[in-house]
Copies of this chain bind each other. A is one copy, B any other.
Amino acid sequence: MAKLDLMRELTLPQGGKILLLVMDGLGGLPREQGGLTELETARTPNMDRLAREGSTGLSIPVSRGIAPGSGPAHLALFGYDPLVYDIGRGVLEAIGIGLDVREGDVAIRGNFCTIDENGAITDRRAGRIPTEEGEKRVELLKDIQIDGVDISIRAGEGYRFAMVMRGEGLSPEVADTDPQATGVPPLPAKATSPSAERTAELVNRWLEEARKRLKGHEPANMVTLRGFATDPNLPKYRDVYKLKAACVAVYPMYKGVSQLVGMDVIPTGPHDSIADEFRKVGEIWNDYDFVFCHVKPTDSRGEDGDFDAKVAVIEEVDQNLPALLDLKPDVVIITGDHSTPATYRAHSWHPVPTILWAPGTHMTDPVETFGERACLGGALGQFPAPDLMPLALAHARRLVKYGA
């Protein structure tokens, strides 16, 4: 039996309230041989107390050795094995830059490229134009009108953008228009199943108009489209877990993935601080069974390679933690979606230190502080990230016994 079907069968509509606090890219590595990691360096008296009182362990996001992107890493934390529940790249890209994707929509990743006077591609990434240049080109494309379909488009990083088509009878069964080569023109959109013929035709009309508008705007004077996808129609939190769930996050990607699993996305501002986010959790706490709160800068500072700044972010979270604990959640989980060691300047595969605190149901273990090496001795052991939701529900007494 699939795990989510098991959850659907065993979950109760009542029980304790669960707080899932994710510090993005939390896990790290020692700055030097024999040294401490970011989390081990940080002064975290509040998290240390929860580690001392509760259960600890290390979460394996996707599979040992696999460094995940934010999309699959969060799906895993939400209980959806990312090797089973595949979200199309177009959807991840679109929600990652803040576009709304719903069932029946077609989400697409786009690249600006350079074409010559014959229409052949000379640069598949348009000279890697900076984001501001991409944004200017997106302005030119924004109000292209195609009958029978609403199109949203938004700039991403550099030469990238994403678009979402909304209308009746659309299908994502359309092949990439990127020929993956230079010296040849972009491919026309082509349906890979008969039901997508009309969608491909609409896309081609849009491409024709885009080509006209981008003419003369070298080096980004044309586009290619990839990763046509639709809302993956993931099982929803209210159905599989019987939880009324909310997401408090600043970055669009995390809001997007939360929305795909049926969480309510609480409005936040792009410059909200950690304290702002925690305050918002407090404002909505009474209305939900489950709140996911996402802290981004741990990951950003790791990607920057700034060890000390990542330490500072972790300490800032710890200092603000009492605002969350004062809400008296029955189950608190503190973890990351993956590791982003500052020494590595990128997402990594290293297991992620995790606290599960639920007085009355957790197993205390000998772990006294919150850190990668400390958590090796924890009661949760090393576990696959998708097991975290069943554990959270069990500790909240929201699961009935399996079988007689």
A82-B33 CB under 8 A given contacts A64-B387, A366-B373:
no
CA distance A258 to B247 in the complex (A): 47
Asked whether B404 lies within 8 Å of A89 as measured between CB atoms, the reply is yes
List residues of A (51-85) whose CB comes within 8 Å of B's CBs: 53, 58, 62-73, 82-83
Cβ–Cβ < 8 Å partners of A83 in chain B: 1, 6
| Cβ of A329 under 8 Å from chain B | no
A71 touches B404 (CB 8 A): yes
A67 with B372, Cβ < 8 A, contacts A83-B1, A343-B360 known = no
Interface range for A:
35 or more
**In A252-294, which residues have CB < 8 Å from any B CB?**
none
Flag if A383 contacts B86 (CB, 8 Å): no
Among residues 333 to 378 in chain A, which have CB atoms less than 8 Å away from a CB atom of chain B?
343-344, 346-351, 359-361, 363-366, 372-373, 376-378
CB-based contact A372/B363 at 8 Å: yes
Distance (whole angstroms) from the CB of A401 to the closest CB of chain B: 5
Chain B contacts for A92, CB-based, 8 A: 403-404
Contact assessment for B363 and A404 in the assembled complex, using a CB-CB cutoff below 8 Å? no
User: Is A30 in contact with chain B by the CB < 8 A criterion?
Assistant: yes
Interchain CA distance A83-B161 in the complex, whole Å: 43
Q: Are B64 and A390 in contact (CB under 8 A)?
A: yes
Shortest CB distance A378–B (Å): 8
* CB-CB contacts below 8 Å: A141-169 with B: none
A249 CB-CB contact with B under 8 Å: no
How many Å lie between the Cα of A245 and that of B403 in the bound state?
Answer: 25
How near does chain B come to A40, taking the closest CB pair, in angstroms? Answer: 11
B residues in contact with A401, CB < 8 Å: 67-69, 346-347
B-contacting residues of A (Cβ < 8 Å)?
1, 3, 6, 10, 29-30, 33-34, 53, 58, 62-73, 82-83, 86-87, 89, 92-93, 96, 343-344, 346-351, 359-361, 363-366, 372-373, 376-379, 381-383, 387, 389-395, 399, 401-404
